[in-house]
Copies of this chain bind each other. A is one copy, B any other.
Amino acid sequence: MRGIIGYLVTPFGADGSPDLDSLSKLVDHLIAQDIHGIAPLGSTGESAYLNDREWAAVAQTTIKAAAGRVPVIVGASALTTADTVTMCRSAEQWGADAVMVLPLSYWKLTDDEIFDHYATVAQAISIPIMAYNNPATAGVDMSPELLYRMYRDIDNVTMVKESSGDIQRMHALHLLSNGDLPFFNGCNPLALEAFAAGAAGWCTAAPNLIGGPIKAMWDAVQANDFRAARGLFLDNLDLLSFILSGGLPATVKAGLDLMGMPCGSPRLPLQPLSNADRATLANMLKLATT
């Protein structure tokens, strides 16, 4: 697995529950951006705010809508190991190509607790696990040493997604594994540098809004043309940073609405984008498409 992995939001209907029809259309929209994979139920997908039934419906609908056109990586993360096992098993059974597992925490976890958590989950399934480090949302930070140890010692942990935004983590993963461990970047404003450092791909919600430049940037990187990649990146950096700092569910939903694909507001306590921020985003989208 390599390339651009696009995140899906979870659209909500008027009654506040997942709007599965809109979700199917978003799958089509995202695949139409000519990217390499899609990922429902990540941070952008408000997975943490869904109940079990809602999570299942979103996973199943996405896999069905994708219909094998691109791989589907399902976010499957819970506070307890038991719930995480259940989710990963379900995802596998429904046809997911891989799962992305974030070590959610309330009490901080030790490295051994995290390792055992992933080992237990991995033993329960036979599809690949993307170990996902995002200390800002998970409340726990996995060091490159721990990530590498899990990659080396746990069979199904085959790739890492790094969203800490610290390029030195990526260097460390490279050095620890002699360049063997495929790492994906999950921090939009670090995309250019992650590619420079050898990232296998970029997991991002941006293709929902600016699919063309994202794909062009990937192609420039593949052609080893970093001058072109830099131009594309810097031209879109304001937008890439804006959608992250405003909270991806709120900003991406606002952007999709501006583009004629309404999918409701984020779930409370998360609030929709303010009118001022929405206007800013509208301007950025106009600039991006001209």
Q: Which residues of A contact B (CB under 8 A)?
A: 43, 48-49, 79-82, 103, 106-110, 112-114, 116-117, 120, 136-137, 139, 165, 167-168, 171, 174-175, 179, 189-190, 192-193, 195-198, 224-227, 229-230, 234, 237-238, 247-249, 267-271
A-B contact pairs, 24 of them (CB 8 A): A48-B106, A49-B80, A49-B106, A81-B268, A107-B137, A107-B247, A107-B248, A112-B271, A113-B269, A116-B268, A116-B269, A120-B268, A139-B139, A175-B234, A175-B237, A192-B193, A192-B197, A193-B196, A193-B197, A195-B196, A196-B229, A197-B230, A224-B224, A226-B226
* Contacts beyond the supplied A80-B267, A107-B249, A171-B237: 20 A-B pairs with Cβ under 8 Å: A48-B79, A49-B106, A80-B269, A81-B268, A106-B137, A107-B270, A109-B270, A112-B271, A113-B270, A117-B268, A117-B269, A137-B139, A139-B139, A174-B234, A192-B193, A193-B193, A196-B196, A198-B230, A224-B224, A226-B226
Find out whether the CB atom of A82 lies under 8 angstroms from the CB atom of B268: yes
Q: Which residues of chain B come closer than 8 Å to A136, judged between CB atoms?
A: 108
Distance in Å: Cβ of A177 to nearest Cβ of chain B: 12
Q: Once the chains are docked, how many angstroms separate the CA of A152 from the CA of B164? A: 32
- Measured in the bound complex, the distance between the Cα atoms of B176 and A238 in whole Å is 11
How far apart sit A227 and B165, CA to CA, in the bound complex (Å)?
Answer: 22
Q: Known contacts being A80-B49, A196-B226, A230-B198, is A109 close to B269, with CB within 8 Å?
A: yes
* Across-interface contacts of A120 in B (CB, < 8 A): 268
Roughly how many angstroms separate A171 CA and B137 CA in the complex, as a whole number?
A: 24
Given the complex, which residues of B lie within 8 Å of A198, measured CB to CB? 230, 234
Residue among A117, A192, A270 with most chain B CB within 10 A: A270
A199 to chain B, nearest CB (A): 11
CB <8 Å contact, A269 and B81: yes
Contact B189 A171 (CB under 8 A): yes
Contact A116 B171 (CB under 8 A): no
**Chain B residues with CB under 8 A of A103:** 269
- The 7 A-B pairs with the shortest beta carbon distances in the complex, nearest first, are A193-B193, A196-B196, A48-B106, A117-B269, A81-B268, A226-B226, A113-B269
The answer to whether A116 touches B271, judged by C-beta atoms less than 8 angstroms apart, is: yes
Q: CA of A81 to CA of B272 in the docked complex: distance in angstroms?
A: 14
Q: Are B224 and A227 in contact (CB under 8 A)?
A: yes
* Assembled-state Cα–Cα distance A168/B167 (Å): 11
